């Protein structure tokens, strides 16, 4: 607690009564405590920003656009907040705790509020902008108020005070930036992680007033600050306790069937739903980050069309990129002459579920138990760079490229690596989206594969859950032939349907599109434009 007197505001360079100043040792401790508070508040502010960016990427995809909107709006609002704080400097201690309590409440509940806006009101973007503006204004008001409080403890040159305060602020931002992806998100999840940070934020602001500037605040104001802090922290704790129930209710609003499994992994949000019916088998659906990956009612149409045309040639050594649910793997293992299958999947939790969840094992027929299967948990791009190759067939079964994180796996560079890993005479197939609903995206993928010096044969089939769905078959040299060489008849694919699959209507036929590259992933932009 610092005794601040009129002598504390003496301009730099003038002499004041030494008895009126805080003792040097006491002043140093108070300055250090205030800088620590600035450090903590900066960490909390960055966590709020990262939470909004991450939530937007989960719900809407297009990480680059979401981050740009959120951060640019927030930084602009920080400037407004810094200006708005100027009239509050006379009552800096009280203003600071009010700002921190407001920031704790709004920032702590921000993810919960935005999720509710998305699930029930369909007002996510408007809510995101409003929340970003409010949080930005409050974060921007912190620095001027902290600067005023720092100078009250001991006057110093403005440049020195700015250096001390911004050093604490920037290092605190580093702590928040590291804590969010490595501690808060994987351990507590987005909703609870933000609520925890809100409590820390409120306590940091309260500590500044009640420990360092007790005598600057009137008793009634101290009482109000204490009550406000207890109220805010109580609400945040109540939100933490009810977070699971809220998330389950909000998520269920987004899905047609009851949710039977939901799991947030390091890489994605996994949801499995299952219908309830007494007259027919339950329908199982898998969603990754809100996007439907398959439904048990017709997934065989998708996977038969994906796998069997590419395996009509040599197939001793097969590579599957993605396909962590094991359904493409199930189709590959139907061939007795397949000797080895390497499946590269980034998320080990997806593999664990595919091995153990009875709904998935029933569909993939326990494919991962086959001794011919080798699972590699790795980023496919990095893994291909070091792979020895020699694959007779490659199956690229990845989520749609509506997020920047997935976009690199739909680039010329990636397909060049995949082509290099093919054995002589080898073939590759890529799931390529819908040529009917997203024709520009489909033909962009086709053009990008061609740019990797591969000959291509696009084709499409009807999958009721997805509509018209397309694939690109590719090989070195001559254009690959669409044919079947299956050990047993298929449920949805035969010679006649395969011949029809290679025919496109005039309004959805081949078109010239830009090639998607690492430096210019145009496919993400096209996906967002066409599907939204």
Task: Decide the pairing of beta strands 317-322 and 340-344.
Answer: parallel
Based on DSSP, count helices (H) and strands (E) in the chain, helices before strands: 18, 11
Show the beta-strand stretches assigned E in 170-300: 259-264, 269-274, 284-288, 291-295
Closest CA to 329 of 268, 375, 289: 375
Q: What dihedral do alpha carbons 169, 170, 171, 176 form, nearest 10°? A: 90
CA distance 490 to 493: 6
CA distance 190 to 187: 9
CA distance 416 to 392: 16
SS3 for 109-134 is HHHHHHHHHHHHHCCHHHHHHHHHHH
Residue 338 Cα to chain centre, angstroms:
36
Angle between helical axes of 24-60 and 158-179 (0-180°, round to 10): 40
What is residue 250's three-state secondary structure?
helix
CA distance 527 to 532: 8
Q: What are the C-alpha distances in Å from 394 to residues 99, 199, 405?
A: 56, 50, 21
Asked if 457 and 473 count as a contact pair (C-beta separation under 8 A), the reply is: yes
What is residue 409's three-state secondary structure?
helix
Residue 408 Cα to chain centre, angstroms:
15
What is residue 20's three-state secondary structure?
helix
Q: Write out the H or E segment, with its range, that includes residue 455.
A: strand 455-463
Closest CA to 432 of 367, 508, 337, 334: 508
Residue numbering of the annotated binding site for S-methyl-5'-thioadenosine: 268, 345, 379-380
Q: Write out the H or E segment, with its range, that includes residue 391.
A: strand 391-397
Q: List the catalytic residue out of 164, 357, 392, 397.
A: 397
Asked if 531 and 433 count as a contact pair (C-beta separation under 8 A), the reply is: no
Residue numbering of the annotated binding site for spermidine: 303, 325
Structure tokens given for 43: 């960490």
Q: What are the C-alpha distances in Å from 411 to residues 37, 444, 493?
A: 45, 10, 29
Catalytic, 453? Answer: no
Q: What are the C-alpha distances in Å from 59 to residues 74, 111, 116, 325?
A: 19, 12, 12, 21
Backbone phi and psi for residue 112, each to the nearest 5 degrees, phi listed first:
-60, -45
Enzyme catalytic residues: 397
């Amino acid at each position: 607690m610092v005794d601040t007197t009129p002598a504390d505001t003496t301009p730099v360079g003038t002499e004041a009564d030494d008895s009126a100043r805080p003792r040097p040792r006491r002043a140093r401790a108070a300055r250090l405590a205030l800088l620590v508070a600035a450090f903590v508040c900066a960490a909390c502010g960055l966590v709020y920003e990262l939470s909004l960016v991450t939530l937007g990427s989960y719900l809407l995809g297009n990480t680059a656009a979401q981050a740009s909107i959120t951060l640019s709006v927030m930084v602009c609002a920080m400037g407004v907040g810094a200006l708005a704080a100027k009239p509050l400097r006379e009552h800096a201690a009280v203003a600071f705790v009010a700002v921190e309590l407001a920031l704790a409440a709004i920032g702590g509940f921000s993810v919960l509020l935005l999720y509710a806006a998305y699930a029930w009101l369909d007002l996510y973007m408007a809510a995101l902008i409003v929340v970003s503006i409010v949080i930005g204004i409050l974060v921007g008001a912190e620095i001027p108020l902290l600067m005023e409080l720092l100078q009250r403890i001991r006057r110093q040159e403005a440049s020195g005070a700015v250096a001390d305060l911004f050093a604490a602020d920037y290092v605190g931002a580093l702590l928040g930036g590291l804590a969010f992806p490595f501690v808060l998100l994987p351990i507590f999840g987005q909703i609870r992680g933000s609520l925890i940070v809100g409590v820390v934020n409120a306590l940091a602001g309260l500590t500044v007033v009640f420990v360092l500037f007790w005598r600057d605040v009137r008793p009634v104001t101290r009482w109000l600050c204490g009550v406000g802090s207890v109220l805010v922290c109580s609400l945040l704790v109540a939100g933490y306790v009810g977070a699971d129930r809220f998330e389950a209710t909000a998520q269920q609003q987004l899905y047609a069937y009851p949710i039977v499994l939901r799991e947030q992994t390091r890489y994605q949000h996994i949801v499995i739903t299952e219908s309830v019916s007494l007259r027919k088998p339950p329908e199982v659906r898998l969603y990754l980050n809100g996007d439907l990956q398959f439904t048990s009612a017709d997934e065989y149409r998708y996977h038969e069309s994906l796998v069997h045309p590419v395996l009509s040639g040599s197939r001793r050594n097969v590579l599957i990129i993605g396909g962590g649910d094991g359904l493409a793997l199930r189709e590959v293992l139907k061939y007795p002459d397949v000797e080895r299958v390497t499946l590269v999947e980034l998320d080990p939790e997806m593999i664990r579920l595919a091995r153990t969840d009875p709904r998935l094992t029933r569909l993939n027929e326990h494919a991962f138990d086959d001794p011919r299967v080798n699972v590699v948990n790795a980023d496919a791009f990095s893994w291909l760079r070091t792979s020895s190759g020699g694959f007779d067939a490659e199956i690229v079964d990845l989520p749609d490229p509506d997020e920047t994180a997935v976009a690199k796996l739909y680039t010329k560079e990636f397909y060049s690596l995949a082509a290099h890993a093919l054995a002589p005479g080898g073939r590759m197939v890529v799931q390529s989206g819908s040529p009917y609903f997203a024709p520009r995206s489909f033909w962009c993928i086709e053009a990008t594969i061609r740019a990797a010096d591969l000959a291509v044969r696009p084709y499409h089939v009807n999958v009721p859950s997805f509509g018209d769905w397309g694939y690109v078959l590719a090989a070195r040299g001559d254009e690959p032939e669409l044919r079947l060489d299956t050990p047993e008849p298929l449920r949805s694919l035969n010679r006649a349907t395969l011949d029809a699959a290679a025919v496109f209507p005039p309004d959805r036929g081949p078109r010239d599109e830009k090639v998607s590259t690492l430096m210019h992933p145009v496919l993400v932009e096209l996906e967002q434009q066409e599907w939204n």
